[in-house]
Structures are given as C-alpha cells and as structure tokens.
Amino acid sequence: MHNEIFKEYESKLPMGIINDLKQRVPSNFSQAKLKKVLELACEEYELMKVDAGEAVGLLSAESIGEPGTQMTLNTFHFAGVAEMNVTTGLPRIIEILDCTKSLATPMMEIHLESPYNKGKEIKEFAESIKENRLKHIASEFTVNVAKAAVDVTLSQEKLTALKLTVPSVVKAIESMRGIVVKADGNIVTIKPKGKEEAINEVFKLKDKVKEIYISGVKGITQVLPIKKEEEFIIVTAGSNMKEVLQIEGVDAEKTITNDIIEIAQVLGVEAARQSVINEVKKVIDAQGLNVDLRHIMLVADTMTVTGNIKGLTRYGIVSEKASVLARASFETPLKHIIEASISGETDYLNSVVENVMLNQPVPVGTGLPGLVTKNNKKEEKAKYL
C-alpha cells in the first residue's frame, strides 16, 4: 500500500530521499500520515533548492579554493611499505582540474578475480603485469671490442620467475631494426648490421638495447600487491587501462586508474566525470578537509559539457566562453583582444565578468530578471476611444 503512495511522489522528490523515507517509515503508519510526511518532505526539498540566478559557480570556486589554501604544498609523500610516490594535496588538485596530460604519478588499482583476490599467487601475477625491458632481465651488458658487438648476459633467476625462455627473449630483441642477434646459452650477442664496425656505434647500441621491451604491460613500471578490505589488489605505478582491462584474471569492472584523460578515452565522458569527482574527493578527504560534494559535481559537469574532457585552463573551458572580454579577463588578455578584433567578434555582454568590467548590473541573482508587464489591450483601446 505504501509503495503506491511513494510512487506518486517519485516525480517530486529525488530517489535518494524516497529510499531514505522508505526505510525509516514504520510499516504500521497510516496512509494519511505517510502522505503528510511526504508533503512535508516536498516542502523542505523545495526550500532547500538553489534559487534561480544564484551564482553557483562562484560559490563552488570559493568553497573549493578556501580549503585549498590549507592543503599541503608538498608534491610527494610516501604511502605504505614500498617506495611508491603519490601526488597529493594541492598539486594533485591542480593536476585533476587542469586535466594535465602526463601525470606526475600515474597509478592504477587493479582488482582481481578469484583465486588471485584471496592472495593466491598474487606476487607472480603482479610480476607478469609489470613492464620488463632488457635491462630488467639481464645481469650484465658488456661491449665486446674484438667482435664489435654487445654481449648481454641474461639472469636465469629472472627468466624463470617471469616464465621466459632465451629464444622468446631473442625474438623480442629482434623487433629492433638494424641488428643481428645470436644466442649462446644465457649470453645473447647483439651486432649492428652493416659493414662499418665503428666502435662508438656499438657503445651507442649498448645503451639502446637496454630499453628493448620484452614482456608485461607497457607503462606499468612498479607493482605492489596489497590487502585492502579483505581483498587483495595490485597497486601499480604507471597506467595502461586499455591493456590491463583485457588481461585474464583481472576484475575489469572495478579496476581504476587515476589518469582521467585515459578514462575518458577508454570508458567515455560520463566515467571521466565520475572519476573527476572521486579523485578530488579522495584528495580532500585525505587532507582532513570537508567540501560539499555538489561543488565538485558542478566543476566536473562543467569540465565535461562539450563531450570531451576539458581542463580549467585558457586552452580548456575558458576558451569556450562566448564573450571576448570574459576570455581576456582570465589569461593572456592581449592575445584574445587582438584575435577578436581581427576576426570582428561581437560581445553581447550576456554574462558576469564583462558586465563587471563595464560597470553595469550583472545578470546574477536580483540582477537577472527584467521587468515584465502585461499589456491590457482592452483598457488601452478604451483610453483612445
């Protein structure tokens, strides 16, 4: 019976409030009483709504900016056991809101499927995800002057740990151009192709071959299996969402990265918006501060209106502003004014900043509505008759 009444109010109240009430209202409540409660809830809800014309963006800016002054200015702090850096505090907030392309510390949280999430063979699994270059699996690089070649001694220990064989490593090395590879036991000889056997070429080659990609997921430089709320997950330094999601044994539904641009590319704008909110909230919570979630949601919505994720920079959402003066008031004013005068842009003075600059009432709050009068045509006619 109650459910029907609740259904009536679904258009007037958000689902969150209705679900809250559903849980709290005792089942022996009479229908009349329930209706009264819901009416009251509606009344309160309407009162709490933001008024039309409220300068919500300004409020958000102040509400996020003020706690920002109290955040750590330190870029790094050490999290947990291993030497893994995490960007926190103000530098991280700036990184998120500016939508920086290359993060200082990209990270992933890889959730796992059973049995790995119980901690079984998790170390081996983590190692298999980590990117390995030749320098990681070799114990020695030497330049053989007589043969004009580079001798690489592979570490048997690491080969077995990564389930690699010498032929498979040789194959990976051969992907590099202009070289000849020969294997003898654990020693791989790499020779530059061509007749000239200049010895400085060989020295250059020695540095080059160190970076040859052998196995694992590209971009993941460190792995760290940790226990988080009864479940084992892998935290990584470096991020490669696209490839990690396809790995067998990874719980792709929960796996996340802190690189928002990468999320936008792999999962779409909506996921990117949610991840902006989550990441900003994470920083604010870690600093022991408190900002209403709605402010962050507004910022995240603004960053994603165009369908692409755009940072709060002069190349991002500021460049989308219609008004020339508003754009000029942010950064690089001369550039904007010169470009606008060359292309003959018109400023319609529809928004706030430009009107402040011209000392005019701004279209916010009480400055927003204009006067509306109804022309009573009959009376008007009667006057002239």
Partner 1 sequence: MKKFDITKHSLVPKHAKLSDKEKKQLLEKYNITLNELPKILANDPAIKDLGLKNGDVVKIERISKTAGEYEYYRGVVNA
Beta bridge partners of 133: 213
- Residue closer to partner 1 by CB (options 226, 267) is 267
| Concatenated DSSP letters of 189-255 | EEEE-SS---HHHHHHHHHHHTT-EEES-TT--EEEEEEETTEEEEEEES--HHHHTTSTTB-TTT-
The reply to whether 266 sits near partner 1 by the rule CB under 8 A is yes
Long-range contacts made by residues 57-63, C-beta under 8 angstroms, separation at least 24?
57/298, 57/302, 59/295, 60/295, 60/296, 60/298, 60/299, 63/291, 63/292, 63/295
Q: How many of the other CB atoms lie within 10 Å of CB of 136?
A: 15
Stretch touching partner 1 by CB under 8 A, among 164-172, 258-266, 325-333, 371-379: 258-266
Q: How many of the other CB atoms lie within 10 Å of CB of 124?
A: 13
Stretch touching partner 1 by CB under 8 A, among 134-142, 215-223, 262-270, 371-379: 262-270
CB of 271 to partner 1, least distance (A): 4
C-alpha–C-alpha distance, residues 242 and 290, integer Å: 34
- Residue closer to partner 1 by CB (options 230, 253) is 253
Pick the binder of partner 1 from 84, 271, 289, 353 (CB under 8 A).
271
The reply to whether 368 sits near partner 1 by the rule CB under 8 A is no
The reply to whether 275 sits near partner 1 by the rule CB under 8 A is yes
The reply to whether 267 sits near partner 1 by the rule CB under 8 A is yes
List the x/- string, 210-249, binding to partner 1 by CB under 8 A. -----------------------------------xxxx-
Residues 148-187 that bind partner 1 (CB under 8 A): none
The reply to whether 351 sits near partner 1 by the rule CB under 8 A is no
CB of 23 to partner 1, least distance (A): 12
The reply to whether 256 sits near partner 1 by the rule CB under 8 A is yes
Beta bridge partners of 213: 133
Residues 13-32 that bind partner 1 (CB under 8 A): 14-19
The reply to whether 369 sits near partner 1 by the rule CB under 8 A is no
C-alpha–C-alpha distance, residues 273 and 95, integer Å: 15
Stretch touching partner 1 by CB under 8 A, among 59-67, 84-92, 188-196, 270-278: 270-278
Q: Is beta strand 76-78 parallel, antiparallel or unpaired with respect to 213-215?
A: unpaired
Exposure string over 338-363, b if 16+ CB within 10 A, otherwise e: eebeeeeeebebebbbbbeeeeeebe
- Residue closer to partner 1 by CB (options 201, 270) is 270
Residues 31-90 that bind partner 1 (CB under 8 A): none
- Burial class of residue 176 in the structure, from the number of CB atoms within 10 Å of its CB (0-12 exposed, 13-18 middle, 19+ buried): middle
Pick the binder of partner 1 from 143, 269, 289, 352 (CB under 8 A).
269
DSSP 3-state assignment of 111? strand
Pick the binder of partner 1 from 178, 307, 344, 370 (CB under 8 A).
307
- Residue closer to partner 1 by CB (options 90, 239) is 239
The reply to whether 308 sits near partner 1 by the rule CB under 8 A is yes
C-alpha–C-alpha distance, residues 109 and 251, integer Å: 11
CB of 310 to partner 1, least distance (A): 11
Pick the binder of partner 1 from 293, 322, 338, 358 (CB under 8 A).
293
Where does the chain have alpha helices with state H? 2-8, 15-24, 31-48, 56-68, 89-98, 122-129, 134-137, 156-161, 166-173, 199-209, 241-244, 260-267, 269-286, 293-304, 324-328, 333-343, 352-357, 377-384
Stretch touching partner 1 by CB under 8 A, among 163-171, 265-273, 326-334, 340-348: 265-273
Stretch touching partner 1 by CB under 8 A, among 10-18, 315-323, 346-354, 376-384: 10-18
Binding site for partner 1 (CB under 8 A): 14-19, 245-248, 252-254, 256, 263, 265-271, 274-275, 293-294, 297, 301, 304-308
